[in-house]
């Protein structure tokens, strides 16, 4: 039941919004102050999962659908009240953390599964963050091209997170459409097709947000849309720290070496593991992407982050500090692509 900690982020965020005032920032404060402090001051070990096939692990994931859309509805309803601008900013940021941690992150886990209901749940969880392209690009793009210049979600050595954001956001969306176009061509299908996921997802998302605008008004919808931006920037911050500076070698054949555990930064810090459903064991995820989160293992021989994900994300926002901390840890042979 350690993964109940994943629900602590929406709990802190929604309680703070309910109380109001400065407490509307509770989601942000909890994720990027409280959790990092717990990571560095109260270290503890987690036992490995004894029954990783238990259905409870899946139930814990699917409950996030109710949490994410319940949070969206509550935020939309709350936003119709009379609130100061800084209260709205705090609430937007806190709900955005929910969209990222309990929305996109869970969509990432479910999107790797083969069952139709898991894939539909993944697509649904991406909606509040406007990141529907992630579903197709992550599986057919990122996992193929990770740690190469072809992958927009891989941060280059000496690339700041602020230079990485436009590369990742624009690049991911562009690549998703390219992948979809190529898949249609391979099947001799036109753009207007029942199998064009990107087209129907875009139309569905547009219809969803137009409906929200009609029910709650443009201003309220704008704040909710802003929370979605926070959500996908949270994802891209995670992408930044997951592969920073780790590049696969180009072989004489013109192909890149096989993806290995060494091409992802691993973190076995307890708090980051439980609030993000083992996403921090990222080396094993890329090594065997079909593995469910309770079965992911710690690769001690892969590059290790000195802190857990929440703390590392915070440090990444200060590029000089990040470079000082991480550049010496990047293996020399992987620094073949750099930003000067």
Q: Which of 199, 150, 210, 192 lies closest to 175 in space, CA to CA?
A: 150
In the chain, at which residue ranges do the beta strands (DSSP E only) sit? none
Q: What is the residue range of 237's domain?
A: 2-247+256-334
- Whether 290 is covered by a domain: the verdict is yes
Q: Which residue has the tokens 């193929």?
A: 144
Q: How far is Cα 273 from Cα 54, in angstroms, rounded to an integer? A: 18
Q: Is residue 215 part of a domain?
A: yes
Q: Are 282 and 109 spatial neighbours (Cβ–Cβ below 8 Å)? A: no
Tens of pLDDT, residues 97-112: 999 999 999 999 999 9
Paired with 338 in beta bridges are 157
Query: Counting every residue, how long is the chain?
Result: 340
- Tell me how far apart the alpha carbons of residues 86 and 234 are, in angstroms, rounded to a whole number: 20
Residue 48, classified by CB atoms within 10 Å of its CB into exposed (0-12), middle (13-18) or buried (19+), is exposed
Q: Please choose, from the candidates 177, 192, 183, 187, the residue with its C-alpha nearest in 3D space to the C-alpha of residue 137.
A: 177
Residue 15 is encoded by which pair of tokens? 């309680």
Q: Count of domains in the chain?
A: 1
Q: What share of the chain is helix, strand, coil (3-state, %, to 5)?
A: 65, 0, 30
Residue 19 covered by a domain:
yes
Distance between CA atoms of residues 302 and 129, nearest Å: 31
Is residue 208 included in any domain, yes or no?
yes
* Nearest C-alpha neighbor of 90 from the set 78, 104, 102, 106: 78
Per the structure block, which two tokens stand in for 88? 């709205």
- pLDDT by residue for the chain (340 residues), tens only, comes to 788 999 999 999 999 999 999 999 999 999 999 999 888 887 667 777 777 778 999 999 999 999 999 999 999 999 999 999 999 999 999 999 999 999 999 999 999 998 999 999 999 999 999 999 999 999 999 999 999 999 999 999 999 999 999 999 999 999 999 999 999 999 999 888 888 999 999 999 999 999 999 999 999 999 999 999 999 999 999 999 999 999 999 898 889 998 888 888 988 888 888 999 888 888 888 877 788 888 888 877 789 899 989 999 999 999 999 999 999 999 877 765 544 4
Is residue 340 domain-resident? no
Give the integer Cα–Cα distance in Å for 302 and 265.
Answer: 7
**339 lies in a domain?**
no
User: Looking at residue 336, what is its pLDDT?
Assistant: 53
Instruction: Give the whole-angstrom CA distance, residue 111 versus residue 136.
Output: 9
| This prediction's pTM | 0.93
CB 8 within 8 A of CB 276: no
pLDDT at residue 339, rounded to an integer: 47
Phi, psi for residue 22 in degrees, rounded to 5: -65, -20
Calculate the CA 33 to chain-centre distance: 19
Residue 291 maps to a domain: yes
Largest CA distance in the chain: 64
């Amino acid at each position: 039941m350690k993964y109940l900690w994943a629900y602590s982020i929406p709990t802190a965020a929604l309680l703070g919004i309910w109380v109001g005032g400065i407490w509307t920032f509770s989601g942000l404060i909890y994720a990027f102050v409280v959790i990092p402090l717990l990571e560095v001051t109260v270290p503890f070990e987690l036992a490995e999962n004894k029954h990783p096939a238990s259905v409870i692990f899946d139930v814990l994931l699917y409950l996030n659908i109710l949490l994410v859309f319940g949070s969206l509805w509550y935020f939309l309803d709350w936003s119709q009240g009379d609130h100061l601008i800084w209260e709205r900013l705090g609430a937007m940021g806190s709900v955005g953390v929910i969209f990222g941690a309990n929305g996109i992150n869970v969509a990432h886990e479910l999107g790797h599964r083969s069952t139709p209901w898991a894939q539909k749940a993944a697509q649904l969880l991406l909606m509040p963050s406007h990141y529907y392209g992630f579903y197709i690009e992550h599986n057919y793009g990122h996992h193929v091209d990770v740690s190469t210049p072809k992958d927009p979600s891989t941060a280059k050595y000496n690339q700041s997170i602020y230079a990485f954001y436009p590369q990742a956001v624009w690049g991911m969306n562009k690549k998703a459409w390219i992948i979809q176009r190529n898949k249609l061509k391979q099947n001799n299908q036109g753009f207007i097709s029942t199998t064009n996921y990107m087209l129907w997802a875009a139309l569905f998302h547009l219809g969803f947000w137009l409906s929200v605008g009609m029910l709650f008004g443009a201003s309220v919808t704008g704040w909710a849309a802003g929370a979605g931006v926070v959500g996908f920037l949270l994802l891209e911050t995670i992408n930044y720290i997951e592969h920073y500076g780790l590049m696969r070698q180009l072989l004489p054949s013109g192909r890149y070496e096989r993806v290995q555990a060494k091409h992802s930064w691993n973190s076995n810090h307890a708090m980051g593991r439980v609030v993000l459903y083992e996403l921090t064991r990222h080396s094993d995820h890329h090594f065997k992407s079909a593995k469910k989160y309770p079965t992911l293992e710690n690769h001690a021989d892969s590059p290790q982050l000195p802190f857990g994900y929440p703390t590392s994300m915070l440090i990444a926002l200060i590029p000089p500090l990040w470079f000082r901390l991480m550049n010496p840890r990047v293996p020399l042979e992987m620094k073949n692509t750099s930003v000067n």
